[in-house]
Amino acid sequence: MPKNSSQKAKELPADLQKENQEARPEPAKDEPGTRQKKPTDLTNPPPKASSSPAQAKALADARRDSKSGAREREDGEILVGTMAGKNWLIERRIAAGSFGTLFIGRHIHTLEPVAIKAERMDSSYPQLHRERKFYQVLGGGVNVGVAPAQPGIPIIYYFGECSTGHHYQLLIMELLGPNIEDLLQACGGKFAVKTTCMLAIQLLDRMEYIHSKGTDPRPCYTPYSSCRTISVLTGILYRDIKSENFLLGRRDGPNANTVFIVDFGLSKEYINPVSRQHVPFNTKKGSVGTPRYMSINALQHHEQGRRDDLEALSYLFLYLHIGHLPWQGLPGSTFAEKCKRILEKKLKLGVEDVCKGAPVEFCKFMKYSRTLEYEEKPDYNFCRQLFHDMIAREKATFDHVYDFHGERVADFWKTRNKLLGSLGPLPEDLQTRIELARRYDGQTMEAGGGRKSKNAGAASSRNVRSDRADPMNGVGDVFDSRIKPPYNQATLRTRQKAKKGCAGCLCCCSFRNKRKHSDTGFSGSTQDVSQTKRASFDL
């Protein structure tokens, strides 16, 4: 049997082969649109395009940047004009970063403007869910939409999913004012001593709260107590100190002079929630943060601690007052190369050389942050007193009168106010969307009420409350502060077992109902309890 067409052609008679050759049309050489196959010259192959590794890397970076820019434009085109949950309308894209896109929106009933952060579900480095967790912990519990007790932490209104051709995660928070970097540039690139000190004192307050006051609600495992939660000290490292991440409150609000801290995507717990011990020191970690403000230990790939956040703050305070740092503008095509050059510069220069031209308190604060041990708790009162002394030496008071409240930055505030004033009227089809949301409520109640059980009405009520309260739900309405959703799904399963009186749960409901299950106690309960306990601590 022939294996190819050439063998078939050889087996044909001579007259048939001649007829086939005559019947086969020849391609026109000069006809447009035809591709002529060039003969391959194996003796002299065509030369390959020579490109150095640097050129290849630059080309790859350009392709990646163009792709990310196209994705950001696509995100803005897709999400603008859509609803986030039931009550928020996405109005306009105002910024885009490496980890998401920021929009401005408003509540459709109260018309209150909000900030909406969107992140694709297929993102290479998803951080929005992690950021929401830290906002929840710093807010003082699991209630969403409740103002935290500590000032400087923004209020979170909603967290959920949005599906409009692509799947997105959305985080809705209160709209804040400009960041410190924008205010610095509006004031000519540097702040006076008084303004720098007042900002430094507030930022030290935020760091102290994040480091030592962050608590995580956990289920209580005391057998003979009622169902409740306990607060476990976790401690959070910020690890992303930069002037763009510190914002002031809205000028027309009650927190106009309060410094807020945002963007917890790179934050990390330094206290193990299970062992309640400090995370051990490690010398083989990746560099995390902004290279300009990163500490020497972070640039050396060491495990970061509270001391590294303070050292990064010392560089930020110096930058706000002087307007530049000695390692600014160093060339570096990659993140690793830039970190390497900045590390060499920081090791070469002494503290006095870095703080040249600044008051001596800046030098003292930087020296103190560099001399701290890895697990040592910083003396925040000592650090704050340094800046209070500078304010007293300037014969000024802590009156929240900053440089950016003067007349020379009036144009900046006019431009800033246009961002909120340009929000147009609500679209005409918004009432249709509200009606669809109400229909969804009715369908949910009918589905819950149709269950054939004694507690059919209660089941429907619970379903509606859960859909409205759970921030993980795409249609959540979390303005009802009476509802307290569980912290994670493992805790939800534990509470559901407790309500059913499961013998494998360590909650008090199991001890109360153990006689209903068996008279001999908990058979095999040790293994079930350990599994449930580990699952609840698995975040």
Domain CATH number, residue 82: 3.30.200.20
DSSP H or E segment with residue 413: helix 410-421
Q: Are residues 283 and 377 in the same domain?
A: yes
Closest Cα partner for 474 from 482, 462, 466?
Answer: 466
Q: Are residues 204 and 155 in the same domain?
A: no
> What is the Cα 248 distance to its own chain's centre?
19
Task: Give the total number of structural domains in the chain.
Answer: 3
Q: Are residues 289 and 377 in the same domain?
A: yes
Q: Are residues 385 and 236 in the same domain?
A: yes
CA distance 306 to 289: 14
Q: Are strands 100-107 and 113-120 parallel, antiparallel or unpaired?
A: antiparallel
Closest Cα partner for 204 from 441, 383, 466, 419?
Answer: 383
Residue 44, domain member (yes or no): no
Residue 528, domain member (yes or no): yes
Q: Are residues 171 and 289 in the same domain?
A: no
pLDDT value of position 82? 81
Residue 12, domain member (yes or no): no
Going from the C-alpha of 256 to that of each of 249, 250, 387, 483, the distances in angstroms are 4, 5, 21, 30
What residue numbers bound the domain in which 163 lies?
64-175+427-451+462-486
pLDDT value of position 51? 54
Active-site residue (options: 216, 240, 308, 470): 240
Closest Cα partner for 370 from 290, 314, 324, 289?
Answer: 314
pLDDT value of position 423? 65
Closest Cα partner for 315 from 287, 279, 291?
Answer: 291
Taking the CA atoms of the chain, what radius of gyration do you get in angstroms? 31
Sequence-distant (≥ 6) Cβ neighbours of residue 421 within 8 angstroms = none
Residue 53, domain member (yes or no): no
pLDDT value of position 492? 54
CA distance 421 to 415: 10
Which pTM was predicted? Answer: 0.66
Residue 331, domain member (yes or no): yes
pLDDT value of position 369? 95
Q: Are residues 352 and 435 in the same domain?
A: no
pLDDT value of position 76? 54
Report the chain's terminal Cα–Cα distance, integer Å.
66
Closest Cα partner for 535 from 501, 497, 491?
Answer: 491
DSSP H or E segment with residue 361: helix 360-371
Q: Are residues 165 and 188 in the same domain?
A: no
Closest Cα partner for 273 from 353, 195, 193, 217?
Answer: 217
Residue 100, domain member (yes or no): yes
Count the neighbouring beta carbons within 10 Å of the beta carbon of residue 406: 11
CATH, residue 255:
1.10.510.10
Residue ranges, the chain, pLDDT below 70? 1-77, 97-98, 140-149, 163-166, 213-234, 408, 416-539
Q: Are residues 523 and 398 in the same domain?
A: no
Q: Are residues 407 and 441 in the same domain?
A: no
CA distance 440 to 447: 10
Q: Are residues 189 and 327 in the same domain?
A: yes
CA distance 239 to 145: 26
Residue 356, domain member (yes or no): yes
Closest Cα partner for 99 from 328, 288, 246?
Answer: 288
State the residue for tokens 């063998």. Answer: 7
DSSP H or E segment with residue 420: helix 410-421
CA distance 304 to 369: 13
Average pLDDT of the chain to the nearest whole number:
71
Q: Are residues 248 and 321 in the same domain?
A: yes
Q: Are residues 476 and 506 in the same domain?
A: no
Cβ atoms of 127 and 533 within 8 Å: the answer is no
Q: Are strands 88-97 and 100-107 parallel, antiparallel or unpaired?
A: antiparallel
DSSP symbols for 343-356: HHHHHHS-HHHHTT
Geometric angle at alpha carbon 32, from 30 and 35, rounded to 5°:
85
pLDDT value of position 376? 92
Quick check: is 308 catalytic? no
Q: Which two tokens stand for residue 172?
A: 């809705």
pLDDT value of position 495? 57
Cβ atoms of 131 and 264 within 8 Å: the answer is yes
Residue 69, domain member (yes or no): yes
